[in-house]
């Protein structure tokens, strides 16, 4: 299913020309037009889902298996010092285009790309309780 108003549906469907890295019946991986670093790739499912919550698990699995393969290829090709695999869901988490996608970003020591957060902490026993609560929802 496509959303005719979604730019990432158009990119995934080949309606807009891209530098395509990989394509199969489920996914298209393209070079990001506004990369965090050279070599930045976006993996797009060919079906529309605004976030991971809506996407079929088969697509999610395929996207992350592909992310691993692309990370290995970037490491070999660019000799990067590391790779971020990033997937944001909803505005509070930094999602700006509401079509599920995975970023694969090559990282280099002392590059200008920053993905940081300020660590917090748990109260005594809080992490165990949250872990238990999550387990019950699975």
Tens-digit pLDDT profile for residues 76-115: 999 999 999 999 999 999 999 999 999 999 999 999 998 8
119, two tokens? 């660590």
Identify the three-state secondary structure at position 22: strand
- Which of 94, 108, 91, 99 is closest to 36 using CA atoms? 108
**Do 66 and 30 touch, CB atoms closer than 8 A?**
no
| Catalytic, out of 48, 99, 101, 103 | 101
| Partners of residue 84 on adjacent β-strands | 105
Structure confidence by residue, pLDDT tens digits, 8-67: 999 999 999 999 999 999 999 999 999 999 999 999 999 999 999 999 999 999 999 999
User: Quick check: is 101 catalytic?
Assistant: yes
Pairs from 14-23 (Cβ < 8 Å, separation ≥ 24): 21/70, 22/66, 22/70
Cα 110 from Cα 121, distance rounded (Å) = 28
Identify the three-state secondary structure at position 20: strand
Whole-structure pTM value: 0.93
- Which of 98, 66, 99 is closest to 85 using CA atoms? 66
């Amino acid at each position: 299913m496509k959303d005719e108003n979604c730019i990432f549906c158009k990119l995934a469907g080949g309606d807009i020309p891209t530098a395509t890295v990989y394509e199969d019946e489920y996914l298209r991986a393209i070079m990001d037009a506004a990369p965090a670093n050279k070599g930045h790739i976006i993996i797009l499912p060919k079906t529309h889902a605004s976030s991971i919550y809506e996407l079929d698990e088969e697509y999610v699995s395929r996207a992350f298996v592909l992310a691993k393969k692309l990370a290995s290829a970037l490491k070999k090709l660019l000799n990067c010092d590391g790779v971020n695999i990033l997937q944001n869901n909803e505005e509070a988490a930094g999602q700006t285009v509401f079509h599920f996608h995975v970023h694969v970003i090559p990282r280099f020591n002392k590059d200008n790309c920053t993905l940081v957060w300020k660590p917090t902490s748990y109260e005594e026993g809080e992490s165990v309780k949250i872990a238990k609560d999550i387990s019950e929802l699975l």
